[in-house]
Amino acid sequence: MQTVKETNKEEIVSINSLVEDFSYDIEYSYDAGIGLNEKTIDYICDVKNDPDWIRDFRKRALRIFLQKPLPVHWASKELEKIDFDKIRYYLAYNKAPQRSWDDVPEEVKKTFERLGIPEQERKFLAGVEAQFDSESAYSNIKESLSKQGVIFVGSTEGLHKYPEIFRKWFAKVIPPADNKFAALNSAVFSGGSFIYVPPGVKVQQPLQAYFRINAESFGQFERTLIIADEGSEVTYMEGCTAPRFETSTLHSAVVELVAMPGAKIQYITVQNWSSNVFNLVTKRAIAMEEAEVRWLDCNIGSRLTMKYPGVVLKGRKARGEVLSIALANSGQHQDTGAKMYHAADETTSNIISKSISIGSGRASYRGLVSMPNHLKNCKNNTECDALLINSSSRTDTYPAITVIGNKNATQHEASVSKISAEQLFYMQQRGLPEDEAMSLSVNGFINELVREFPMEYSVELKRLIDLEMEGSVG
């Protein structure tokens, strides 16, 4: 995977919380109103010109969502604070993305320019998609990749232009009945990416999407489907931000990955949601024979995050990996983890989780590893490390590992630690202020995972950590 050249360091997109905390008054062309019912679904379908099978799919999903209770096992008290009747489920300035940055509407363009991601600054990417509230404002892919048959468009364009590919896998990895929030997304999904990489094509540069929430009392429900055909390779990066509002904002995405035999998919997420966002996301992949799926996941900000990227290791010698970083500041709960379902012989999975709790923040690891009795020569490694910054910080670990029979191997390691007073003293004696010494220690704690991210994101991760650490001393 290629990364940005040394000379481009100053062009890296800035995703710190200070830069992102702004919004613009937008006169939306399409607004489904407040609340969720069948009329909301019909409005979305009419605006998007959905085929009948999608309209039926959405309405079935709505019934599932209304029937399913909120999860009661964890974070239920926080989830009860979501008022689904006060959320706007579809807002769009324009329903069709532009291919040229110059053609993006001025009101929307200035948002992304202020965030630092105009198209001309992202030439090291193979393709870019920028979503503003419910729809993509800009979508483009390099012509050389298009000629190789690579598809990179929004989900709506994908289901309209490539139905034979899209429909085959849509909602097959994550059906609406999977959980309440997957059902909600299935009912009102809009935006997100559809990617198809033909057999043998290796996309050398990353594809990137940036999801921006601008409106208050709004829900963003993008749906992403990535299919890497046999022997192909692709890296996808996404960034997520929203301004700070007094009212709650809901982000409930669904991501489905399909890695065909010998294919490789790497999915990188850096989220920096504001503290009023409920971030409730379902991510899952299927890995066929000798395929490989890697999730690199960084969760910063939000009021509550519930996200557990998973891989179904369906083919022999398939490999799955989740590397995750979570940082919870005061008033925040990062409930994150991973799920690995071994479903074929000689499959391998690796989970490495690092969490940091600051102030009264709470970080939880929630994992699942499953190896049935009929399988042999399967391996799993799980490592969960937590760092507590203050005496009021909290961390929890909830691993569920089920290995039946004696033909497979798994290992689990967990640790909880606090910042070393000796280490801080050592750095302060050499002239570093206490907050800088604290920040350096935290970055050292996650450095092993940060190195796995592309340079343009690893630099930002360290910058975000520095911002979050400000005021944490004491």
Mean pLDDT computed over every residue of the chain: 85
Residue 120 pLDDT greater than 50, yes or no: no
Smallest CA-to-CA distance from 94 within 196, 172, 191, 188 is with: 191
Query: Is 300 among the domain residues?
Result: yes
User: Within 10 Å of residue 253's Cβ, how many Cβ atoms?
Assistant: 25
Query: Is 3 among the domain residues?
Result: no
How confident is the model over 127-155, as pLDDT tens digits?
Answer: 777 787 788 777 777 788 889 999 999 99
Query: Is 61 among the domain residues?
Result: yes
pLDDT band at 456 (very low <50, low <70, confident <90, very high): low
Judge if 445 and 319 occupy the same domain: no
How confident is the model over 411-440, as pLDDT tens digits?
Answer: 999 999 887 777 777 788 888 877 777 778
Query: Is 218 among the domain residues?
Result: yes
Counting DSSP H helices and E strands in the chain, the numbers are 12, 24
Judge if 414 and 431 occupy the same domain: no
Residues in the chain: 474
Query: Is 42 among the domain residues?
Result: yes
Three-point CA angle 241, 247, 251, nearest 5°: 40
Query: In the predicted model, what is the mean pLDDT of residues 54-72?
Result: 94
Query: In the predicted model, what is the mean pLDDT of residues 166-187?
Result: 97
Residue 373 pLDDT greater than 50, yes or no: yes
Q: In this structure, are residues 329 and 361 in contact, taking their beta carbons and an 8 Å threshold? A: yes
Q: In this structure, are residues 370 and 335 in contact, taking their beta carbons and an 8 Å threshold? A: no
The pTM of this model reads 0.89
Burial class (CB in 10 A: 0-12, 13-18, 19+), 330: middle
Query: Is 222 among the domain residues?
Result: yes
pLDDT at 10: 31
Judge if 231 and 330 occupy the same domain: yes
Judge if 313 and 454 occupy the same domain: no
Judge if 204 and 350 occupy the same domain: yes
> What is d(CA 298, CA 25) in angstroms, rounded to the nearest whole number?
30
> What is d(CA 115, CA 269) in angstroms, rounded to the nearest whole number?
17
How confident is the model over 193-238, as pLDDT tens digits?
Answer: 999 999 999 999 889 888 878 877 899 999 999 999 999 999 999 8
Judge if 128 and 173 occupy the same domain: yes
Judge if 330 and 453 occupy the same domain: no
Judge if 383 and 443 occupy the same domain: no
Judge if 172 and 293 occupy the same domain: yes
How confident is the model over 50-59, as pLDDT tens digits?
Answer: 999 999 999 9
Within 8 A by CB and 6+ apart from 32, the residues are: 40, 43, 44, 47, 88, 89, 90, 91
> What is d(CA 372, CA 403) in angstroms, rounded to the nearest whole number?
6
Name the domain boundary from 379, 403, 421. 421
Judge if 331 and 348 occupy the same domain: yes
> What is d(CA 327, CA 329) in angstroms, rounded to the nearest whole number?
7
Q: Which two tokens stand for residue 39?
A: 């009329």
- The DSSP secondary-structure symbol of 69 reads P
pLDDT band at 76 (very low <50, low <70, confident <90, very high): low
- The DSSP secondary-structure symbol of 84 reads G
Judge if 307 and 456 occupy the same domain: no
H/E element holding 424? helix 421-429
Name the domain boundary from 421, 437, 452. 421
Would you call 16 helix, strand, or coil by DSSP?
coil
pLDDT at 131: 80
Query: Is 10 among the domain residues?
Result: no
Domain enclosing residue 72, as ranges: 15-421
**CA distances from residue 183 to 24, 224, 230, 282 in whole angstroms, order as listed:** 30, 15, 30, 10
> What are the CB-based long-range contacts (under 8 Å, 24+) for 67-72?
68/179, 68/180, 68/183, 69/180, 70/180, 71/179, 71/180
Query: Is 164 among the domain residues?
Result: yes
Considering its fold, how many domains does the chain have in total?
2
- Beta strand ranges found along 14-172 (DSSP E): 30-31, 91-92, 127-132, 135-141, 151-154
> What is d(CA 85, CA 428) in angstroms, rounded to the nearest whole number?
52
Q: In this structure, are residues 354 and 382 in contact, taking their beta carbons and an 8 Å threshold? A: no
Name the domain boundary from 421, 442, 462. 421
At 434, give phi and psi (nearest 5°): -60, -40
Judge if 411 and 430 occupy the same domain: no
